[in-house]
Amino acid sequence: MAEPGAYRCVECSREAAELYRDYRHGVLRIAVCKSCQKPVDKYIEYDPVIILINAILCKAQAYRHILFNTKINFHGKLCIFCLLCEAYLRWLQLQDSSQSTDPDDLIRYAKEWDFYRMFGIASLEQTSFLVGIFIALWWRRPKMLETKSDFILLLKALLLSSYGKLLLIPAVIWEHDYTPLCLVFIKVFVLISNSQAIRVTLNLNRMFPWLAIFFGLILENGVVCLVQKMGWDV
For the residues 190-214, what does the mean pLDDT come to? 93
Calpha distance 180→176 (Å, rounded): 9
Using DSSP, state whether 171 is helix, strand or coil.
Answer: helix
Q: pLDDT at position 148, please?
A: 84
Distances (CA, A) of 185 to 6, 118, 198, 203, 234: 36, 21, 20, 26, 19
For the residues 199-224, what does the mean pLDDT come to? 92
What totals of helices (H) and strands (E) does the chain contain, helices first?
A: 8, 4
For the residues 49-61, what does the mean pLDDT come to? 94
Domain ranges of the chain: 7-68, 74-230
Taking only the tens place, the pLDDT of each residue in 141-165 is 777 787 888 899 999 999 999 999 8
Buried b (16+ CB within 10 A) or exposed e, 149-169: eeeebbbbbbbbbbbbbebbb
N-terminal to C-terminal alpha carbon distance within the chain:
48
Length of the chain equals 234
Q: Do residues 85 and 169 touch, judged by C-beta distance below 8 A?
A: yes
Q: Using the predicted structure, report yes or no on whether residue 109 has a pLDDT greater than 90.
A: no
**Res. 2 pLDDT band, cuts 50 70 90:** very low
| Range of weakest confidence among 5-14, 24-33, 106-115, 116-125 | 106-115
What residues form DSSP beta bridges with 39?
32
Residue type, 204: L
What DSSP string runs through 182-195? HHHHHHHHHHHHHH
The sign of the CA dihedral 198, 203, 208, 212 is negative
What residues form DSSP beta bridges with 32?
39
Buried b (16+ CB within 10 A) or exposed e, 89-124: bbbeebeeeeeeeeeeeeeeeeeeebbebbbebbee
Beta strands in 114-209 (DSSP E): none
Rounded mean pLDDT of the chain?
Answer: 85
Taking only the tens place, the pLDDT of each residue in 85-103 is 888 888 877 766 555 555 5
Stronger pLDDT, 172 or 12, i.e. the higher one: 12
